[in-house]
Amino acid sequence: MKSITLGDVTVSCSNFGPEHPCLIGEEHMIVIGKGSMIRPDALTPHIIDDEMRVVGELKAEGFVKSAYRRSEGPGFYLLAEGPSIDAVRERIDNTLPFVVENLATVEYDAIYEI
Q: What confidence tens digit (pLDDT) does each residue in 15-66 have?
A: 444 444 444 444 689 999 999 999 999 999 999 999 999 999 999 999 999 9
Q: What is the pTM (predicted TM-score) of this model?
A: 0.73
> What is the rounded distance in angstroms from the CA atom of residue 4 to the CA atom of residue 10?
6
Q: What confidence tens digit (pLDDT) does each residue in 67-105 have?
A: 999 998 889 999 999 999 999 999 999 999 999 999 999
Indicate the domain borders of the chain.
Answer: 27-111
Top-tier CATH class for 27-111: alpha beta
The pLDDT value given to residue 15: 43
Cα 38 to Cα 1, 8, 43, 74, 102: the distances in Å are: 45, 47, 10, 9, 8
Residues 6+ apart with CB under 8 A from 47: 97, 98, 101, 103
The pLDDT value given to residue 20: 45
